[in-house]
A and B are shown apart, each in its own frame.
Chain A
Amino acid sequence: MICPYCGHNNLDGVDTCEECVHDLSDFDVPAATGGLQMHIMEDTIGHIPYDRLALISPSDSVAHAVSRIKTIGIGQAVVVEDGKLVGILTERDLLNKVAGREMDLNTLPVSEVMTKRPETIGERDPIRVIINKMAVGEYRHVPIVRDGRPVGIISAKAVANYILKHSGLDF
């Protein structure tokens, strides 16, 4: 590791520079240096515009949930019980568990098809956390919660647009 103070080439992982004795212990830890890297380290979820919420309850019928989703013009609904997030109902749930099956959507409760206990994120979390959840966990929609209550939902599209905006490509 090159000492940023004197330029001495130290062994990896030393705590102090062998030449000038400056403390180097912080330099191995990922830190914000600039550009896009700095944005994802320091900007928070609040910097990304998030989608409006369609709120439904677990006992609602899937037919009702679908009509709520369509009215709001988004692709998923957030399922709440006593104000707390208990699940999400996404297009993928409808594709995998409803489409092509003989089911009465007017009597089928949302709780039967929703994704239970979804991954969540807080408004003050840095953006790299949402990138991690989407790239590592393969989630496309992550509800934003404040004290267990959903306040928004963030989509992979919003994250991609954020990256594009800060990539330095002018258009």
Chain B
Amino acid sequence: MSENGHTTNGAVKLTRKDFQTDQEVRWCPGCGDYSILAQVQKVMPELGIPKEKIVFISGIGCASRFPYYMNTYGFHTIHGRAPAFATGVKVANPDLQVWVITGDGDALSIGGNHFIHALRRNVDLKIILFNNRIYGLTKGQYSPTSELGKRNKSAPMGTIDYPINPLSLAFAAEATFVGRSMDVDPKHLAMMVERLAAHKGSGFLEVYQNCNIFNDGTFKSFNEREVKEDRMIQLEHNKPLIFGKNKDKGIRLKGVTPEILTIGENGITVDDILVHNENAHEPNLPYILGRMQFPEYPVPMGVFRAIEKPTYERMLAGQISAAVDAKGAGSLEKLINSGETWVIN
């Protein structure tokens, strides 16, 4: 991209304004969704992809209103089925960049099956899950990620459902890119959206998002500005897992259990600290990291896993062209009339 406002192919360089729409954004005042929308709109022009080559596909929920607010192609589909629509869109139009916007209920409850199979197939989809641990659109019932014991409208005495960990599910489904960020750290969020956009294959980004009406402050205990350095850990490829205000705490594995060490105590040095590797082929290490939760551990943020595998749509296109090479282009009419047909009088 040249610097006079034009891309090298002569197209006008887009700005974030080009990705905004004239639709009134109907989220509650103070909702974390606004922060995610702002960062996605900020990253889009940096990708250098024309607007007509981008599609946002969503299911049902507050998060799923997203396509209305993006000046790209969009598809507000049915509950939990966004990954299925998106798979179809990507396979039929491999040159499109396909995003899926979903929430904890849409992806993990109603659409649990579609979600894992889209990840397993390594379709080149960029899935962002807005996790607010509650059903916001329907006014405050517990979701698959709500904390055990959480009081809410559908569990006035507290939920007795054990929550699901979206990352564990993504690793189990062999997603080739898995990351996590949060609404209150715009810089980090923009970085993660960029990484997700650059990934080829099934990409999954969980975003901790505050629902200030029905589940206000659910992540506050660890992501507030003044405590986050001690209670969260930033994953960086090839770098030791160090955290804390004074950058003196680190993670080491004891067998398959992470333990927290203090650098400088008991002879512990930086060399004792586990080094993060997002490219490890087996998802074992990211799985262990993905299960670390506050208050036992700092909550990891960043890219857990980023590996390359042939994508579904490429392999499918390969099969089609191999079949055409071997048998010539087919004809649907011929196939239908190839036998076992009869005339009804």
Residues on A close to B: CB < 8 A? 1, 11-14, 28-30, 96-97, 112-113, 116-117, 119, 135-138
Contact = CB atoms under 8 A, between A and B. Distances in A.
Interface stretch (B27-35, B76-84, B267-275, B314-322): B27-35
B156 A13 contact: no
Contacts of A137: 16, 38, 42
A96 B42 contact: no
Most chain B Cβ neighbours within 10 Å, of A13, A28, A119: A13
A29 B152 contact: no
Contacts of A112: 4-5
A101 to B, nearest CB: 9
3 shortest interchain CB distances as A-B pairs = A13-B214, A30-B30, A13-B140
Contacts of A136: 35, 38-39, 42, 186
Contact of B3 (A96, A117, A138): A96
Contact of A97 (B4, B38, B134, B151): B4
A12 B152 contact: yes
Interface of B: 3-5, 15-17, 28-30, 35, 38-39, 42, 134, 139-140, 151-153, 156, 186, 212-216
A97 B186 CA distance: 27
Contact of A28 (B28, B38, B152): B28
A11 B3 contact: no
Contacts of B17: 117, 119
A29 B29 CA distance: 6
Say what secondary structure dominates the interface of chain B: loop
A130 B18 CA distance: 20
A13 B216 CA distance: 9
A28 B140 contact: no
Contacts of A28: 28, 30, 212-213, 216
A11 B186 contact: no
Contact of A29 (B16, B30, B153, B214): B30
Contacts of B16: 137
17 contacts: A1-B216, A11-B151, A11-B152, A12-B140, A12-B214, A13-B140, A13-B213, A28-B213, A28-B216, A30-B212, A96-B3, A97-B4, A116-B5, A117-B15, A136-B35, A136-B39, A137-B16
Contacts of A113: 4
A44 to B, nearest CB: 18
Nearest to B30: A30
Most chain A Cβ neighbours within 10 Å, of B4, B35, B216: B4
B69 to A, nearest CB: 15
Given A12-B213, A14-B153, A30-B212, 18 more contacts: A11-B140, A11-B151, A11-B152, A12-B140, A12-B152, A12-B214, A13-B139, A13-B214, A28-B213, A29-B28, A30-B30, A97-B3, A97-B4, A116-B15, A117-B15, A117-B17, A135-B186, A137-B16
